[in-house]
Amino acid sequence: MIRTVQVLAPFLMLVFLTFTASDVNAQQRGGYKIVVNASNPVAALTADQVARLFQKKVTRWDNGQTVVPVDLPEDSRVRDRFTQDVHGRSVGAIKGYWQRQIFSGRGVPPVEKASPQEVVTYVAANANAIGYVPADMSTGPDVKAVRLSR
Amino acid sequence: MNRYTFTFLVLAVSLLAGPVQAQQERFQVYGFFDLELDGTNKNPDDFQYTFDQHHFNVITVYRMSDRWRVFGEVEWEHGVSLNASGGSGLVALERAWVEYAHTDALRVKAGKFLPPFGNYNQLHDATPTFLSSFLPNAVYGKHSNTVGGSQRLYAKFGTGIQVLGTFFPGSWQADYYAYVTNGRGPRPGEADNDRNKGVGGRFVLTAPNDVARLGASYYEDRNGAADGTKQRAIAAELAFGTSGFWLEGEALIPVLETVDGAGVPNGAFRTGLGYYVQASYRTSAGLTPFGRFGVFDPDVDVADDGDNDIVFGLNFALRNFAYLKGEIQFLNFQDPTVDGYERFVSSIATKRLRSDLHGRRGMACPVGGSATV
């Protein structure tokens, strides 16, 4: 019995750590981080909140300002990971969502920037913007990362 | 170029270039196109088919401020060619409205819009957004009315005011729409000039990650296209799916006022029933086979007056902006004196999903590039 516990302990510990660390490590695990303008008071968002912001189901920050989400190109691996992780769907499925939104008159998709650096520049210049960039990218003083939780 | 001119140009470019990064696009253009090959053996001795350049629609969205936007859609239908003596095809202003967004939960729209009814009326003719080349006939098709004409059981268009919004009960999403329009009189876009208006609404609940949706719609008006008879329609919708599989269905109960022998509305009503169920499976290769079964009964109190259709089709996403479709529709009639027949439709549908023209300071002047994605 003791031997069984000894064998299983590292595995159980690993499972425990995986689950408890999933919140804080979600972005790193997915290879991206959520970024907003440094003046934005938001410090943490849930994945549901981020999904609603990027699908423009929620269009205003708590201070009433219009949220300006910014995407990476469709073929970006970072976008693929972000979309799977936050929306729980494929990039293609999200494109389909935007087709229906556009043609039903509900809304138009977020601005797309060609590179993570352009996303950072855009977010730095726009107090209400929110984007995502590679987790290990340096973003400078005008942009800050937001903690993503489940 | 002297120093002052150079300085002026640098300042001008700086002033104009600055806001571009700091704001969203003001003016955007979208659209879609489709071409159909449509054949039927309705006349068994003479199989006929035709090409139909069905839709060429251009949609513009102009964002005037964070809360105000104007939406417009112009349609050129059936390879339109008009001249002073007539011609063929159709040009129409499908939609033109202004919207004020007070909050996400409260928006007001005014103008000509597609009344939110069922899953598809707001999507309208945008064939790239749905699998089939045509919408389910049982709910969205034209059916015989009480004066012998043919009409939809709801209004496809409406001019008036709409209130709509989105809110979130827990992890679900709720969307509501309520509207008042002119209804379907002889001139529904302008001089309706009566007290009988089109009134309707829709309520939709969507599950997290959009894996399921259920909703209900209502519409009523005094239908000017059918001798001023009154009409109500109630519809319910349900859809769910995951991992490429999708199942959806809608049911419609229309209640139409009948007329007497002289064609005058007599205050009596008949009740109909229409419904369809559609299943599809999207593969990773972009192929989506689908099947649909639909039934329409114009009067539930009369036997053998209904019809049904079975559709088998294949939708192939050539690219994320181009779709090839093929389907066969089997139409059957309860009336034994009416023969069933088949209809074959294939089509190519494309959309322009993004075109950003960066306007600034109220001017809709294109200063940026455009890209199709």
The alpha carbon of residue A26 is apart from the nearest alpha carbon of chain B, in Å, by 18
Please answer whether residues B238 and B248 qualify as being in contact, where contact means their C-beta atoms are separated by less than 8 angstroms: yes
Residue B260's contacts (CB-CB under 8 Å, 6 or more residues apart) are B266
What does the pLDDT look like over B265-284, one tens digit per residue? 999 999 999 999 999 999 98
Neighboring chain A residues of B21 at a CB cutoff of 8 Å: 121-122, 125-126
A97 in B contact zone (CB under 8 Å): yes
Asked if residue B362 has pLDDT above 80, the reply is: no
With a pLDDT cut of 70, the percent of chain B lying above it is: 88
Q: What's the mean per-residue pLDDT of chain B?
A: 87
pLDDT at B353: 55
- A67, closest residue in chain B (CA to CA): B66
- Look at B21-25, B166-170, B191-195, B253-257 and tell me which has the smallest mean pLDDT: B21-25
pLDDT at B262: 86
Kindly report each contact of residues A58-64 with a partner whose C-beta sits within 8 Å and lies 24 or more positions away, as own/partner: A58/B104, A58/B168, A59/B101, A59/B104, A60/B103, A60/B104, A61/A128
Query: Span A11-28, mean pLDDT?
Result: 44
Asked if residue B19 has pLDDT above 60, the reply is: no
Helices (H) and strands (E) in chain A, counts: 6, 6
∠ CA A76-A81-A141, nearest 5°, is 75
Q: How many alpha carbons lie under 13 Å from residue B277 in its C-beta half-sphere?
A: 1
Most B CBs within 10 Å, among A46, A84, A108, to test the B interface:
A108
Q: Which of B217, B304, B288, B278 is nearest to B253 (CA)?
A: B217
- Look at A7-16, A26-35, A131-140, B231-240 and tell me which has the smallest mean pLDDT: A7-16
Asked if residue B12 has pLDDT above 90, the reply is: no
pLDDT at B24: 60
What is the edge-to-edge ordering of all strands in the sheet holding A44-46? A44-46, A143-149, A32-37, A129-134, A68-71, A111-112
pLDDT at B196: 86
Query: Span B33-43, mean pLDDT?
Result: 93
B251 in A contact zone (CB under 8 Å): no
Asked if residue B249 has pLDDT above 60, the reply is: yes
pLDDT at B354: 58
Tokens 């726009």 map to which residue? A126
Neighboring chain A residues of B166 at a CB cutoff of 8 Å: 57
ipTM, 2 decimals? 0.84
Please answer whether residues B224 and B151 qualify as being in contact, where contact means their C-beta atoms are separated by less than 8 angstroms: no
pLDDT at B30: 92
Residue B373's contacts (CB-CB under 8 Å, 6 or more residues apart) are A73, A74, A112, B320, B321, B353, B354
What does the pLDDT look like over B163-222, one tens digit per residue? 999 999 999 999 999 999 999 888 888 888 888 899 999 999 999 988 999 999 999 998
The alpha carbon of residue B23 is apart from the nearest alpha carbon of chain A, in Å, by 7
Asked if residue B359 has pLDDT above 80, the reply is: no
Query: Span B214-240, mean pLDDT?
Result: 93
Residue with the larger pLDDT of the pair B117 and B263: B117
Q: What is the DSSP-derived secondary structure letter of residue B193?
A: -
- Look at B32-36, B46-50, B245-249, B256-260 and tell me which has the smallest mean pLDDT: B46-50
B128 in A contact zone (CB under 8 Å): yes
- Look at B160-169, B326-335, B347-356 and tell me which has the smallest mean pLDDT: B347-356
With a pLDDT cut of 90, the percent of chain B lying above it is: 68
